[in-house]
Structure 1
Amino acid sequence: MDDLYRPLGLDSPHRAWRLPAVRLDRLVLMLAVGGILGGSAAISLDRPVLRQVDVFAEQAEREAAAEMAAALPSPPEPAVKAAPLQPLGRSSAPEDSADPNLPTVSYPPNLSGDYGRLVPVRDPGSLRQAPGEADKVDEALTEPGEEGPLPVRAADGRRPFDVYQAEPASDRGTRIAIVVGGLGISQTGTMRAVEQLPPAVTLAFAAAGNSLDRWMRQARRSGHELLLQLPMEPTGYPDVSPGAHTLTAKDAAGRRWRDLDWSLGRLTNYVGVMNYMGARLTGDAEAMPALATELARRGLLYLDDGTSARSLARDAAKQAGAVYAGADILLDAQQDPDSIRRRLDALERTARAGGRAIGVASAFESSIATLGAWIREAEGRGIVIVPVSALADDPEAR
Structure 2
Amino acid sequence: MLLALGALLFAGGYLLGHRPRPQAADDAAAKEPAGPSPASRQVPPKPPAAGRTRQEPPPVPSERYPEDEVIERVEPPPGPMPPGSGVRLALVIDDLGRSLEDIDDLEALNVPVTYAVLPFESKTREVVTRIRQRGHELICHLPMEPQSGANPGPGALLESMTRAELWQATETALAAVPGAIGVNNHMGSSLTADAASMRTVLGVVAEHDLFFLDSRTSAESVGYRQAVSLGIPAAERQVFLDSDPTVAGIREQFHRWLAVARQRGAAIAIGHPHPTTLEVLAEEVPRAREAGYEFVPLSYLLDYAGDLQP
Q: TM-score category by the smaller chain? A: 0.5 to 0.7
What residue number does 2:66 align with? none
1:237-295 CA-to-partner distances (Å, cap 9, x unmatched) read xx422022211124364564222122111121111111011111110121112222221
Query: Does the aligned pair in 1 maintain the 2:143–2:152 contact within 8 Å?
Result: yes
- What residue is the counterpart of 1:219 in the other structure? 131
Percent of pairs with identical residues:
29
In the TM superposition, residue 197 of structure 1 has moved relative to its aligned partner by 3.2
1:369 Cα deviation after fit: 2.0
Q: Distance in 2 between matches of 1:191 and 1:379?
A: 20
Whole-angstrom CA distance in 2 between matches of 1:261 and 1:254: 11
What is the DSSP-based 3-state SS (H/G/I as helix, E as strand, rest coil) of the residue aligned with 1:279?
Answer: coil
1:185 equivalent to 2:95? Answer no
C-alpha change, 1:357 and 1:279, in structure 2 (3 Å) is same
Matched residue pairs, number? 224
CA shift digits 1:46-99 (9 cap, x unpaired): xxxxxxxxxxxxxxxxxxxxxxxxxxxxxxxxxxxxxxxxxxxxxxxxxxxxxx
Match of 2:116 in 1: 204
Residue 339 of structure 1: aligned partner = 249
Structure 2: gaps of 5 or more residues: 1-38, 42-84, 306-310
Q: Aligned equivalents of 1:393 and 1:360: distance in 2?
A: 18
Contact 1:271–1:300 under 8 Å retained in 2: yes
Shift of the alpha carbon at 1:372? 2.4
- Shift of residue 183 of structure 1? 1.1
The match for 1:373 is 283
The corresponding residue for 2:48 is none
3-state SS, counterpart of residue 257 of structure 1: helix
2:295 to 362, 385, 398: 385
Q: Tell me the TM-score normalized by structure 2.
A: 0.67
> Contact 1:255–1:290 (CA<8 Å) still a contact in 2?
no
Q: Which has the larger radius of gyration?
A: 1
Aligned partner (choices 354, 364, 371) of residue 274 of structure 2: 364
* Pair 381,362 (structure 1): closer, same or farther in 2 beyond 3 Å: same
Give me the whole-angstrom Cα distance separating, in 2, the residues matched to 1:284 and 1:252. 13
TM-score, normalised to structure 1, is 0.52
Mapped partners of 1:228, 1:296: distance in 2: 14
Given the superposition, is the C-alpha separation of residues 394 and 255 from structure 1 closer, same or farther in structure 2, using an over 3 Å criterion? farther
1:235 paired to 2:160: no
- Relative distance call for 1:197 and 1:209 in structure 2 (3 A) is farther
Out of 312, 323, 344, the residue aligned to residue 233 of structure 2 is: 323
User: Is the 1:199–1:223 Cα contact (8 Å) retained in structure 2?
Assistant: no
1:113-192 aligned at under 5 Å gives the runs 173-192=86-105
Structure 1: which amino acid aligns with 2:154? Answer: A
Q: For the Cα contact (< 8 Å) 2:98–2:123, is it kept in 1?
A: no
